[in-house]
Structure 1
Amino acid sequence: MSIAPHRALKALTGLLCAVLLLAGCTMTVQGKGEYAEGGVKKNAPPSELNIQNSDGSETDQQVANALDDAFTFWKKQMPKVFGKEFQEPAGGIYSYTPEQSEPIPCFEGDNSSAAQNAFYCSAEDIIAFDRNFMAELSDTYGPFLVALVMSHEVGHLVQSQTSGLDDKAIALETQADCYAGAFSQSAQKGTKYYDLTSEDLDAVLGGYLLFRDQPGESADDPSSHGSGFDRVAAFQEGFYEGAGYCKDAFGPDREYTEFAYNENEQKTGGNLSYEEIVGYADTEMNAFGDAVASDEGKSWEEVPAEPADGAVTCDGKKQDDQVYYCKAESTVLYDDSGAPATASEKYGDFAVMELFALAYSDAILNVTGSKTKGADRLTAQLCLSGVYAGDAFEKTVEGTPTAGGLKISPGDLDEAIALLIGIGEDDQVINTYKVDAFDRINAFREGFNSGREDGLTASAC
C-alpha cells in the first residue's frame, strides 16, 4: 500500500518461495514435490499426437496428453460457443530446447530468446514449447501445470480462429487464462488424461503466479499479460462460468487491477515497513468495521490491535492463530514475531493488512450478529477482507485515500493472493477449516468485486 498521496503496500520478490515458506509447506521447490501425481490419470494410453523435434521424453508425452485433452475440449466447445468447428494447428506441435542448433519456429536469431517459454505463433499456426522448462514446471508444481500452460496457448489458437478480440495484450492474455480455467473445470470432472483434485488446483495457483507481470507495469503496456490477481481472477472466472462466459467478458470495458508505480512507489517498491503497516492497521480496520456495521444498522465499538507477549492467548487460553480476534477481550491480538512479520518480509505490506482484515472481519461478523462457524465463517471473513481490498482499490482509482489515509499500490493484490495460498491449517497462521486455497481466493475475489461496486458493505458476504 501507499500513504495517500505519499504511502505504499508492495513488491513480491521470490514470491513462490515465500508462499511455501510462510505455510511451512512440504512441497519441494526443486525435484519432484508432493504434487508429483498432479491429477494425471494412471494407466491412460499415451496420446499419439505428433510432437515435432521430440526427444521421446516423458515431458513431450505430458504435453501431447495435455494438448490431446485440450483439443478434445475445444472440438466440443467451439461449435457451442462460436458456431464453428475447431481446427488443430496446421503447423503442428514443436518441442525445442534453447541449446539446439536448429532454428526455433517464429524466432529469429539467438535461440536463447525462446528459453523458458511456450507459445502459439499465428504466423506459422504452430504451438511450440521449451521442453526443459515444461519439465521444471512439472517437477515443481505438478504435471497439471503443464496442461494449464498448454491450454492457455490453445486459448490463443482459439482466438486466432474466432478473431474475437482486438490486439490489446492484456485482454488476449487474460481471456486465454479464462479459457484455461474452463478447460481445467472439465479436467476436474475427468478427461481422458486428467482427474483434477483441489490439491492440484492449489498447486496450479502457486505456479500461476510465476507468469504474472512484475508490480508497477501498466495494463496499457503492449506486452502486458496481467497482474497475478488479474490472471488468477480470469482463470477462476473460466473455471466457474465456462468458455461461453470467456468469449464475451474481455472486451474494451473490462477493468484490470494492474497499474504503474507513482514516483514514491518506484523508490519503495510500494511497500511500507512492517512497523508502519502495523501502525496503520488499527485505524484502518476500525474504520472498516465501523462502516460495515453502520451499513448493517449496528453500532461499532473500537477494537484495538495489540501485540501478544509470545503466543496469542485469549481469555487465558492459548490460540493457534497468530492474528486472532479475541471476543472475550474485544481485541485483535497478533504474534509480533510470527506470521505478520514473516508476511511483511516475504510478500509485502498488504499481506499483513490482509491478515488483520481477516481478524477484524471476525469481529465485524460478531457485531452484525452472524452465527456462522468453521468453514462458513472463514469464507465470510475472506469475503469481507476482499470487500475492504475492493473498496480501497476503487478509492485509489478515484484518487481518494481510505479512512486511514492509505491507498493501494501496484502488486498489493498479488500479495493478498500469495498470502491466501500460503496460509494453511497446519502452519498455525489461521485455521483454514480445510477450505482450500482455490476457494479462499474465490471468496476474497467475490468480496473484492462487491467492494469495488458497492463500497464497505457485508451484503455480498
Structure 2
Amino acid sequence: MRTAGGSGTRRAPRATGWRVRLAVIAFLATLLAGCAHDVPGHPGAAAPAVPATAGPGSDTRPSDESDPPSPRSTEEITTLAVAALGDYWRAAFPASFGRPWAPIRVFAPVHPGDPAAAAPPCVHGATELDGRAFYCPAADAVVWDAENLLPRLHRNVGPAAVAVVLAHEIGHAIQNRLGVDEARHTEPERYPTILLEAMADCYAGAALRHLADAAPVAVLPIGPLERDAALLALVEFRDPLGTEPVDDIAHGNAFDRVSAFQDGYADGPVRCAEMTVDNRQFTQRRFGSAADRARGGDLPMPQLLTAISGDARGWFGAVVAGHDPAAGWQAPALETDPGATACDEAALRAQGPARFCAADGAVVVDRAALAPLQRRFGDFAGATLIASRYGLAALAAMAEPTTGASAGRTAVCLAGAYTGRLIDPSGTFGLSPGDLDEAIGVLLAADWAERDAAGEIEPAEHGYERVLRFRTGLLAGPAGCGT
C-alpha cells in the first residue's frame, strides 16, 4: 500500500504456512531472442528425462488407466501431462478454430547438469535451460528443465504445477498455429509480450479445465485442490515488482496471470484467441516514487491500519448510501482490541485476524494474528481481510444477512470492488506494485475473507472461487456483487 509521501517497507511475500506449500520461485523474466517464450524458476532435485516422443499428437498412454492414482515420479507426471494435453488439443483445436491440428514437432526434456547433454533446440547449450521452460516457434519445440524446474515444482506444489507449466508452453504453440507469432513480426504493438503470456495462461486454463472435467477417470486428475495448486504456481511465476505492462520482459503480475487462466478455464480456447490490447487490461503498475520503490511499498502495520480504516470507511459508507440514501449509516472505525466488542471473542476468532461483530456493528482486527500474515504475504493480505469485514458491515447496514454462504461470498466480492478503486486512485491512498498479488495469495491460501459473521464458510468453496469473486468485484464494482 502507499499513502502520500510513499512511506513504508515492503517484505517479499513468503510461501511458508500456505495450505499448499510453495517453494519461492524467483521470476527472472527473460526471453530467448527472437525464438522462445520462457518460464524460468529456481533449480531443484534431479529427475529422469521424459521421452521427447510423448507429446501432443502421440498415442502414449499408461499401461492401465483403471488403476487408482498412486504417487508418481516427475517423469511419469510429465509423460502423462503431455499425453493428456495432446488428447485435448487434438480435439479442441479443430473444434474451436476450424483448422486441422498439427502435432508439435519436438518435446525436449533437458538435464542442465549433464556435461554431455546435447544443446536443446534454439539455445547454445543445456546449461541455458537451468530452471527454465520455453516454446521455440522456429523449431516448433517445447523444451524444459527436467532436472531442476519440474521436479522442484512437483515436490513443492504438486503434479498440477508440472501440468500448468507444460500447458502454458503448449499455449504458445497454439498461438504459433493461429499465426500470432508471424503477425507479431509485422505488428509488434498489437502483440506485446504481456498479452502473449496472458493468452498462453488462458490456453493453459482451458486445457486444465478439460483435465478437471475428465476426473475421476483421468490418469492425471485435476480436482479443486490441484486447481488451486495450479494457480499458486502461476502466483510464483509473477513479474518482479515494478515491472510495467509495456516492458518487453513483462509476463504479468499474479492477478493478471491468474485472471487469464480463469478466463480460459471458464470459457475455453476461443476466449483466449480473442484477447487483444484493446480488450485486455493489465493491472501491474510501476512504483509511484523513488521512495516507494526503495521501501517496496508496504506500510508498517500501524500506518496501514490507520490508512485503511479512514479510506475503507468512506468507500463502504458511499456504497450503503447509494443503496439506501436515507440510511444515514456511518461505517465504524477500525478497532484493534478484539475484546472491546459485544460479541464473544471465541466466535470472532473463527473469522481470522480481521472480524465483524454483528451484535454492535464493529470491525476489529487482532494485530497479533495479523502480524505473521503480513510477514508472509505483505500488507495488502491483511487489507483484503479487513475490507471483507467492512463488506459484512455494509451488508448489515443494508439489512442484508451477514451469516450464510451468500454473505461470505458477497464480502469477498466487495473486498475486490474496494480494491479496484485503489488501482488508479484519485486520493492519496492506493495500491503499490505487489499488493494485488498479496490479495491473490491470501485468498488462495486461507478462507478467512469468505467467512461469515459467525465464522462459518461453505465447505465446498476453494481458493479458485474466492479469487473469481474478488475479480468480479474488482472489475464490475459493487453492482457486480449484487449491492
Specify the TM-score bucket, using the shorter chain as the normaliser.
Answer: 0.7 to 0.9
1:181 paired with 2:210, answer no
TM-aligned CA distance change 1:51 to 1:243, over 3 Å = closer
* Residue in 2 that maps onto 1:302: 331
Contact 2:11–2:375, Cα closer than 8 Å, also in 1: no
1:179-208: CA deviations, max 9, x gaps?
111111111111642322111112222222
User: C-alpha distance in 2, partners of 1:432/1:29?
Assistant: 28
Matched, 1:411 2:434: yes
Supply the distance in 2 between the matched residues of 1:96 and 1:317 (Cα, whole angstroms): 55
Q: Is 1:158 matched up with 2:186?
A: no
Aligned equivalents of 1:312 and 1:423: distance in 2?
Answer: 26
Q: For the residues of structure 2 that align with 1:440 and 1:241, how far apart are their CA atoms?
A: 18
Residue 66 of structure 2 is aligned to residue 50 of structure 1? no
CA 1:99–1:230: 2 relative to 1, 3 Å: same
Taking the TM superposition and a 5 Å limit, the aligned residue runs for 1:162-241 are 162-164=178-180, 166=184, 167-190=191-214, 192-241=218-267
Specify the code of the residue in structure 1 equivalent to 2:357: C
**More displaced, 8-17 or 97-106?**
8-17
Match of 1:443 in 2: 469
In structure 2, relative to structure 1, the CA distance for the partners of 1:7 and 1:314 (3 Å cut) is farther
CA separation of 1:105/1:152 partners in 2, compared to 1, >3 Å: closer, same or farther?
same
Paired amino acid for 2:434: G
* Structure 1 gap segments, 5+ residues each: 31-46
The amino acid that maps onto 1:135 is P
Secondary structure, aligned partner of 2:408: helix
Would you say 1:361 and 2:391 are equivalent positions? yes
Residue identity matched to 1:222: D
Quick one: distance in 1 between partners of 2:20 and 2:441?
17
SS at match of 1:407: coil
Corresponding residue to 2:109 among 95, 111, 118: 95
**Does residue 1:15 correspond to 2:43, yes or no?**
no
Deviations 1:332-353 (A, max 9, x none): 1221211x22222222222121
Match of 2:80 in 1: 65
Q: Does 1:330 align with 2:357?
A: no
Structure 2 counterpart SS, 1:129: strand
- Secondary structure of 1:214's aligned partner: coil
Distance 2:100 2:412 in 1: 41
| CA contact 2:161–2:230 (8 Å) conserved in 1 | yes
Identity across aligned pairs (percent)?
25
- In 2 relative to 1, CA 72–303 (structure 1 residues): closer, same or farther, beyond 3 Å? same
Cα displacement string for residues 413-456 of structure 1 (whole angstroms, at most 9, x for unaligned residues): 0011111122237xx996543321110111001100013xxxx5
Counting matched residue pairs gives 420
User: 1:365, CA displacement in angstroms?
Assistant: 0.8
CA–CA separation in structure 2 for the residues paired with 1:457 and 1:358: 16
Give the AA of the match of 1:307. Answer: T
Q: Measure how far apart 1:2 and its partner are.
A: 1.0
* 1:277 maps onto 2:304 in alignment: yes
Q: How far off is 1:109 after superposition? A: 4.3
* C-alpha spacing 1:224/1:12, structure 2 compared with 1 (3 Å): farther
How far 1:368 sits from its partner (Å)? Answer: 1.5
Q: What's the offset of the Cα at 1:26?
A: 7.3
1:237 Cα shift?
0.8
Per the TM alignment, residue 112 of structure 1 is displaced from its structure 2 partner at its CA by: 2.9
